[in-house]
A and B are shown apart, each in its own frame.
Chain A
Amino acid sequence: MRAVVTVTGKDKKGIIAKVSTFLSEKGANIEDISQTVLGEYFAMIMIADISSVKEELSTLAAQCAELGKQIGMSIYLQHEDIFNAMHTV
C-alpha cells in the first residue's frame, strides 16, 4: 500500500530530514521524492510504501499532521488511491 505525503509551508532548514526520519522510523519506504520552492513557499511530495508500517493509515496520518504542527508546516499523508481516482480516467 502506498501513501502520498505532502508537506507545504514556509521554507526552512531540515524539513526533508525530519519528515523522512519520522517515516523511516515508522517502517515506511520512501520510493519517490520531489520538491519545489516558489519564493518562500515550500512544497514537497513523497510517495512512500507503508505496507510494513504497524499503525493504521488513519493513525499514521494523524501523527504526520501532529509532526507538521511541531515543525510549523502542513503535512498530509493520504492513501494514493484518492489521487488516482480524482486525476486519472
Chain B
Amino acid sequence: MFSNKEVLETIAMVEKEHLDIRTITMGISLLGCIRDSAEETARKVYDLVCKKAENIVKTASDLSAEYGIPIVNKRVSVTPVSLLCAAFPEKAPLIGKALDDAAATLGIDFLGGYSALVHKATADYERKFIETIPEVLASTSRLCSSVNVGSTKSGINMEAVKMLGETFKQAALLTKDKDGIGAAKLVAFCNAVEDNPFMAGAFHGVGEADTVINVGVSGPGVVKHALEQIPDADLTEAAEMIKRTAFKITRAGQLVAKEAAKRLNGQFGIVDLSLAPTPAMGDSVAMILEELGVEVVGGHGTTAALAMLNDAVNKGGVMASSRVGGRSGACIPVAEEIGMIKAAEKGAITLDKLEAMTCVCSVGLDMIAIPGDTPATTIAAMIADEAAIGMINNKTTAVRIIPAPGKTVGDEVSFGGLLGRAPIMPVHACDSSRLINRGGNIPAPIHSFKN
C-alpha cells in the first residue's frame, strides 16, 4: 500500500512538475486495405482508420480523468504507405489525403506513416513514392512522413540519403509561407523502430499486430525536480535518483497503456519513456543537464551528463514496464525546448555538439532550423553522418532538419503550438557534394555479422 507522502508526491508531479502521458498512439495495420486502384484503397484506408480509432480521444480523456494524469496527445500510426501503393506509387498522395482527412475526423493532431523503408536499396516504387513526399506534406496538415535510409544490418543506402537531402529542401520550399513547416513533419531514420509512439517518426511496422496501443511517457520536469532535492550528491547518487524517478513515471505509462489497450480493443504494445521536452518553462532536458552541473547546455561535459541521464532513464524504465520499446531515452529537439533555444541563441550549442550528443541519447538532429540556402547535398551529408552514428552504435538515429526558406543565421522560425520556435543555426560552408554524388552503399559494419 502507498503512503500519504507518495500520494502527495504524485499530485505535485502533475501540478508543479509537468508529469504527463505524452501520447497514446494507436498503431493500425493497413495491409488489408490494398485494392486494385488507388481510389478504392484510399477509401478503405479512411474507413478503417476512422473505425478503429473512433474512441481514441474519448478513451484518453476518460483515463486522464480517472487517474488524474494529463494525456496530452492522441495519435495514430499506420503501415508504411509506400507498401500500400507499390502498384500505383504516383497516386500515393490520394492515400496521404485520405489519412489526413481521417485524422481530422478523429480530432487528432498528427498521424504518422507516410513512410518508406529503403535501408538496403530503393525499389522503383519506393523512389516514385519518396518523390511525392514534399507535395503531400505541403497539401496536408496532420500527416507525418519518415524514411529509413540505413540500418546496422544492411548499411546505409546513399542513393536514398541523397534523395532525402533534396526531399527536405523541397518540403521546406513548398511550405515557404509557413517557415518551411513541411520539413518539420519529415524524418530520415537509421535503424527505425516499428513501435515508436512519438511523432513525426511514428509508423506501424509490418511485424506488428493488427491494432496496437503504444504509449509515450515523459517528464523532464519531474526528473529535474528530483535532482534539485540532492544538489550536492555525487553522480552515482544522481544516477540512482534519475533511475527511481524514471521507474515511477514509466509505471504510470504502463498502467495507462494496458487500460487503453483494453478499452480500445487493441494489443498492448510498448511503453516508450522518452524525456521529451515541451515549450513549458521547467519541462526541459537541457535544464536537467544544467542541474547536473553544466553551466549552459553545449558546454564541455554535456555529452557525459547526457549519457548518464539517458542510461539511467532506460534502466528505470526497463524495470518498470513489461515491454519497453520505441526509442526510449532523452530527446533533444532544439525547437520545442526552451533550454536548447536559449543555448542556441547564445551560441553555446552548435550542430557539431548536438551531433556528438546524439551518439549517447535516443534521437538525432531533431527540429533544427538551418539557413534556407543550405545545399541539398549538405543536408544529405548531415543525414549520412547521423545514419553512420546509428549504424555503428546499433541505435536509432534520426534527422529532422528545416532549411528555412529565405532565412539565415540570426533569424528564427516559428511554427506555433507544439512545434515551437527555433533560431537558425549555422552549418559548415564546405562542400560535401562529391561524397554524396558518389552514391552506392556504405556497407554494413563488421559487427553486423553475428550469426
Contacts and interface: CB of A to CB of B under 8 A. Distances in A.
A79 B251 contact: no
B69 interface: yes
B439 interface: no
Nearest to B14: A76
Contact of A82 (B3, B4, B62, B67): B67
B65 A82 contact: no
A58 B3 CA distance: 23
B69 A82 contact: yes
Contact of B6 (A34, A56, A87): A87
A5 to B, nearest CB: 10
B66 interface: yes
A84 B6 CA distance: 10
A36 B4 contact: yes
Interface string B48-92: 000000000000011001111100000000000000000000000
B259 to A, nearest CB: 8
A23 interface: no
Interface string B1-41: 11110111111000100000000000000000000000000
B281 to A, nearest CB: 21
A86 B252 contact: yes
A88 interface: yes
A81 B6 contact: no
Interface in A1-24: 4, 6, 8
A34 B4 CA distance: 8
- Contact residues of B: prevailing secondary structure: helix
Contacts of B4: 34, 36, 43, 45
Nearest to B252: A86
A44 to B, nearest CB: 9
A61 B68 contact: yes
B300 interface: no
A34 B8 CA distance: 12
Contact of A78 (B6, B68, B251, B254): B68
A83 B6 contact: yes
B255 A83 contact: no
Contacts of B262: none
Q: How large is the interface on B (under 10, 10 to 19, 20 to 34, 35 or more residues)?
A: 20 to 34
A78 B8 contact: no
A4 B7 contact: yes
B8 A82 contact: no
Interface in A48-89: 56-58, 61-62, 74, 76-79, 81-88
Interface residues of A, number: 25
A87 B248 contact: yes
Nearest to B8: A43
A6 B11 contact: yes
Interface in B247-264: 248-249, 251-252, 254-255
Contacts of A74: 15
A8 B15 CA distance: 12
Nearest to A4: B7
A36 B7 CA distance: 13
User: Of A45, A56, A81, A86, which is in contact with the most chain B CB atoms at under 10 Å from its CB?
Assistant: A86
Contact of A85 (B11, B61, B251): B251
Contact of A61 (B2, B66, B252): B66
Nearest to A77: B68
A57 B66 contact: yes
Given A8-B11, A82-B252, A58 B2 contact: no
A52 B249 CA distance: 31
A45 B7 contact: yes
B6 A61 contact: no
A6 B8 contact: yes
A8 B69 CA distance: 17
Contacts of A43: 4, 8
Contacts of B251: 85-86
A30 B69 CA distance: 23
Given A58-B62, A61-B65, A81 B255 contact: yes
A46 B11 CA distance: 14
A43 B252 CA distance: 23
Listed residue (A34, A76, A77) with the most chain B CB atoms within 10 angstroms of its CB:
A76
A34 B11 CA distance: 16
A56 B63 CA distance: 11
B162 to A, nearest CB: 47
8 contacts: A36-B4, A57-B65, A78-B66, A82-B67, A82-B69, A85-B254, A87-B2, A87-B6
Interface of B: 1-4, 6-11, 15, 61-62, 65-69, 248-249, 251-252, 254-255
The 3 A-B pairs with the shortest beta carbon distances in the complex, nearest first, are A58-B65, A78-B68, A83-B2
Given A76-B11, A79-B66, A85-B255, 10 more contacts: A8-B11, A56-B62, A57-B65, A74-B15, A76-B68, A82-B67, A82-B69, A83-B6, A85-B251, A87-B6
